[in-house]
Amino acid sequence: MTISQGLDLRAHDVKVRAPGGRTILSVDHLKVPAGTAIGVRGPSGAGKSTLLYAIAGLAGDVSGRIAWGDTDMVALTHGARAAFRRSKMGFVFQDFLLFEELSALGNAALAASYVHDSGARQAICERARQHLEDLGLGDNRRKVDSFSGGERQRVAIARALANDPPVLLADEPTASLDRPTADRLVDDLVALTRSGGKTLVAVSHDPALHERMDRVIDIIDGNLAAGTPVHA
């Protein structure tokens, strides 16, 4: 199994505007070194998720520069951003966003159905199977609609890692889980990130998650708070 190195993120003068033209997020300067885990914290509606979408190349009206390694997401076309996400990024969402009708493996290896190269397709399936096993979901033939919340989120992690991306983006990954489950999930997420040398950006309200990060940044009223404290 190949292990890709993490990518670093450098963002300058980033402004994200709402459809009306109002600036909803501005980031003067942000640097995330390759292989680090960053927590994003802040009140609801402050712009945490917007930051995540912006660095994923999903936000619509963005100016400035958001560079993963040498690739500036802002300058890419719609199709090239999708291709970048496809090959370089894994995603974990608050409410899992799985296809209930597919098995755990079907979900984890979702990317195999839209990757052209048959070698890559096999690698995705192989990694998805391995991650599911590592996450204690070896019996992966069941449809996920019978899974618990914790199991579902682990399937989502397996999916996020199946294409061996250098970058992992998580949006409130523990918010839908009870405490013990959330703790176990954070363990898994951090362990897999670190062992793979990946860069992790996790938006969360969860102090337990923040504690496990290398660094936590705060977003207040659409701005990166100055003097962001390092982890506790």
Partner 1 sequence: MPDRLEDAWNNLPVLAQDIAVLAGLVAPLVVIGLIIVRRLNPTPLAGAMLWRYRFSNALFVTLIAISVGIGVGLISQERALRTGTANAADKFDLIIAAPGSEMTMMLAAVYLQPSDVPLLDGQTYSEIANHENVDLAAPIAFGDSYRGAPVVGTTADFIDHLTGGLEEGEIFTAHTHAVSGALAPAQIGDTFEPAHGHGAAAEQGAHAGVTYEVVGRMPPTGSPWDRAILVPVEAVWDVHGLAIGHAPERADQIGPPFDAEYFPGTPAVLVRAEALWANYSLRSEFTRGDTMAFFPGAVLAQLHSVMGDVRQVMSIMAIVTQILVAASVLTGLVILMRLFARRLALLRALGAPDRYVFAVVWSYAGALIGAGALLGLVLGYGAARVISRIITQRTDILVQASVGWPEIHLVAGFVAITMLLALAPAFMVLSRNIITDLRA
- Burial level of 212, CB count in 10 A (0-12/13-18/19+)? buried
Can residue 68 be called a binding residue for partner 1 (CB under 8 A)?
no
Within residues 101-120, the interface with partner 1 by CB under 8 A covers 101-102, 106, 110-114, 116
Q: Which stretch binds partner 1 (CB under 8 A): 21-29, 75-83, 129-137, 222-230?
A: 75-83
Shortest spacing between CB 226 and partner 1, in angstroms: 27
Q: Beta strands 9-17 and 61-68: pairing type?
A: antiparallel
Task: Indicate which single residue of 5, 61, 75, 97 sits in contact with partner 1 (rule: CB under 8 A).
Answer: 97
Q: Which amino acid is at 2?
A: T
Between vectors from CA 201 to CA 123 and to CA 179, what angle results, nearest 5°? 95
Cβ proximity to partner 1: between 95 and 211 the closer is 95
Can residue 187 be called a binding residue for partner 1 (CB under 8 A)?
no
Can residue 59 be called a binding residue for partner 1 (CB under 8 A)?
yes
Backbone torsions φ then ψ of 167, nearest 5 degrees: -125, 135
Look at residues 198, 225, 157 and name the one whose alpha carbon lies nearest to residue 8: 198
Q: Tell me how many residues contact partner 1 (CB under 8 A).
A: 30
d(CA 67, CA 60): 16
For 120-154, the DSSP string reads: HHHHHHHHHHHHHHHTT-----SBGGG--HHHHHH
Residues in contact with partner 1, shown as a per-residue x/- string from 130 to 169 under the rule CB under 8 A: -----------------------------x----------
Task: Indicate which single residue of 39, 68, 84, 151 sits in contact with partner 1 (rule: CB under 8 A).
Answer: 84
Can residue 125 be called a binding residue for partner 1 (CB under 8 A)?
no
Residues in the chain: 232
Q: Give me the residues that bind partner 1 (CB under 8 A), please.
A: 49, 53, 56, 58-60, 78-79, 82-87, 89, 91, 93, 97, 99-102, 106, 110-114, 116, 159
